[in-house]
Structure 1
Amino acid sequence: MKRIATLAVFSLAAVGSPAFADGSTTPPHAHDAATPHASAGPQLSIPAQAEPAVAAVERFSAALAAGQLDAAGAELDPNVLILESGGAERSAAEYLGGHAKGDAAFLQTAHIQLLRRTAQVSGDLAWVASESELHLSKDGKPVTVLSTETMLVQRSDAGWKIVHIHWSSRTKAPGDHH
C-alpha cells in the first residue's frame, strides 16, 4: 500500500486535471476557471505569469502517464531533486532510470481527479501545488488515495524546467477531505 500512496502523490499533478484523467490530450486552461464552483471541476488559482510553468508540469505529467519517459525527462532539469516517501532521487537520470518506470505503469491503472491547483511566480522561479484524488483497485477492492504535489519550476534559456518535486499521499479514510 505504501507504493500505491507514493505513486498517488505523483499522479496528482502529473495527470491530475480532468482533461488528462479522461484520456484527452488537451491541458486545462487555468484562466478559464480561476474560481470554479465545486461541481464545475478543480479549483484553480493560477496567475497568467505562472501559466508557462504550469504547462511544463502538465507536459511532464502527461508524458509520464503515457509512458513517454524521454518526453517527461525533457521537462526536468538534469539536477532535479525528487523527494517522496522519505526517499530522494537527485537527478533526472536517476529518476528516469528507475522509479519513473514504476510511476508510469501505476498511472495507467488509476483515475486521477485534480481537486485544486495553485501557482505563483517570483522572478525566474515558480511553484505549482496540486491536490488530487486517485481512484484505483487494490486486490479487487476500490481504493482512493489523497495526493499532494509541489513542483518548483525554474525559467532558463531552455524554457521552464522542473528543479524540485515533492510528492506525498495517503489512503483516504471515510470522512477524509483534502
Structure 2
Amino acid sequence: MMRAAVWTGWVLLGTTPSMAQPVDPHAGHAITEAAAQPAMDHSMMDHGGMHMAPTPKAMVRTNIGPAEFALKAFSDALEVGNRKLAIARLAPDLTVVEDGVEESRADYIGGHLAADIEYQKSVKTVLLERTVLNDGPSKVRIVSKIRMIGNRSDKPTDTVIEENAVLAKMPDGWKIMRLEWISAQ
C-alpha cells in the first residue's frame, strides 16, 4: 500500500518537537469575561531565572514520522559537522548519487562526506516541499525540494536541489539506503 503526505514551506530551524512553540487552540475565539481580566505583570514575578525563547518567525513542523526524523537527523548532523552521527544514519549498503555520480557507502564516507559537511555548515537550509511515500511498514521514499542560501568561498549562493531518499527500517532504527541530490537550477 502506497501512502503519500506532502509538506510545503517549512524552515528547518534545528529545533526538536519539545522546543517548538505550541499552537494556541483558542486563537480566533471570542474573549470571555473571565479572560478579559487584567493581565499579570510578568516583570514583577520571579520565574527562577527562566527566560522565554523568542517565538520563531517561521512555522516549524513537529509531527514527522520516524523515517523522516532519521533523514532530518542526518541533515542536521551535516549542518553542525557531526560526522559520527551522520554516518550512523547510513545503511551498510548505501548508494549516494550526486549530479549523476554514484558512490558506495565506503566511497562517500571516505571522500565526499567531508565536502557535504563543509557545504551544509556554510548555508541556511529551507525546506520548500516534501513528499513522503510509504512502501509498506519498513520502507519509505522521501522526495524533497530544498533551497540552500549562504556564502561559499566568500560568494553568495542560492541553490535549489531535489533530494530523493529511500530509507529502510532496520533492527537499530531507520537508515538511509539511497540518497540522491539533483540540482534543480
Report the counterpart of residue 12 of structure 2 in structure 1.
Answer: 19
Change (3 A) 1:70 1:138: closer
C-alpha displacement of 1:137: 2.9
Superposition pairs of residues 135-146 of structure 1, within 5 angstroms? 135-138=149-152, 140-146=154-160
Partners of 1:137 and 1:167 lie apart in 2 by: 20
Superposition pairs of residues 90-129 of structure 1, within 5 angstroms? 90-91=104-105, 93-123=106-136, 124-129=138-143
Partner secondary structure for residue 161 of structure 2: strand
Report the counterpart of residue 76 of structure 2 in structure 1.
Answer: 62
Alignment RMSD (CA, Å): 2.9
Report the counterpart of residue 179 of structure 2 in structure 1.
Answer: 165
Count residues in correspondence: 140
Report the counterpart of residue 83 of structure 1 in structure 2.
Answer: 97
C-alpha displacement of 1:157: 1.4
Structure with more contact order per residue of length (Cα contacts < 8 Å, sep ≥ 6): 1
Letter in 2 for 1:120: L
Larger Rg: 2
TM-score, with length taken from structure 1: 0.68
Structure number with higher helix proportion: 1
C-alpha displacement of 1:141: 4.7
Report the counterpart of residue 4 of structure 2 in structure 1.
Answer: none
* Structure 1: unaligned runs, 5 residues or longer: 1-15, 33-38, 172-178
Report the counterpart of residue 176 of structure 1 in structure 2.
Answer: none
Percent sequence identity over aligned pairs: 29
Partner secondary structure for residue 98 of structure 1: helix
Task: Confirm or deny: 8 A CA contact 2:89 2:176 kept in the other structure.
Answer: yes
C-alpha displacement of 1:95: 1.1
Per-residue deviation, residues 55-104 of structure 1 (Å, max 9, x unmatched)? 0100111111111111111111011000111211112x321221011110
Letter in 1 for 2:149: H
